[in-house]
Homo-oligomer: A and B are copies of this chain.
């Protein structure tokens, strides 16, 4: 797999809620080889502060080399990014990492929590090339409805069944996305999950009980994204050494890693 470093123009900037943005960026080289679950490393400042690139999942790939990222403002880097305007150039590195393996039989459950929903739209679209919409179910959770409504519609417009949960009950069910999983039938199926670590741990547990394969996208601190710095270590299931999220992941089989 080949990675590219590109100066990429921001074509469009959408503010989806108070702190969630969606950027459409022109980067043909990176777009071409991208797979769902892979990510890009973005330089968020021209100066030396903040210094490190920030990792973001590939949210969608459109024709003409356009790539979207969906991000939430949580700190200095994402704040700087949010302030960037269409026409400006972003230094992008990608596509990076190992994405979802979606050539699985049976049902497909896409489970996203918070900004973890980002890679799932790309995943759903790729899946639809080989499976019927009815074989896919999407479960999304967030603290409040404004974080979900646009994305929920994006999935629904694909003809996929979408269930939503919000902690404040402002959209969909009141509660956690993991609670929505309880009513799903056990059996042959694969869960593709992305979200905060505590949620993923619960998702992994439910999947085990239901007999589903479970793939999770893990977030770690990353400096390089290229398997060079060894910063993104994740403890192996056997507690004997580490795998690395930027190369062996960010998507792991839930059985590969230790759940702490």
Chain A residues proximal to chain B, CB less than 8 Å:
45, 47-50, 76, 80
Give 8 A-B contacts (CB < 8 Å), ordered by A residue: A45-B47, A47-B47, A47-B49, A47-B50, A47-B76, A47-B80, A48-B49, A49-B49
Residues from chain B with a CB closer than 8 A to the CB of A80 are 47
Nearest neighbor of A80 in chain B, beta-carbon distance: B47
Residues from chain B with a CB closer than 8 A to the CB of A48 are 49
User: What 3 A-B pairs come out closest when comparing CB atoms?
Assistant: A49-B49, A47-B49, A48-B49
Residues from chain B with a CB closer than 8 A to the CB of A49 are 47-49
Residues from chain B with a CB closer than 8 A to the CB of A45 are 47
Nearest neighbor of A46 in chain B, beta-carbon distance: B80
Nearest neighbor of A83 in chain B, beta-carbon distance: B46
Q: In whole angstroms, what is the CA distance A48 to B48 when docked?
A: 8
CB distance from A81 to the nearest CB of B (A): 13
Residues from chain B with a CB closer than 8 A to the CB of A50 are 47
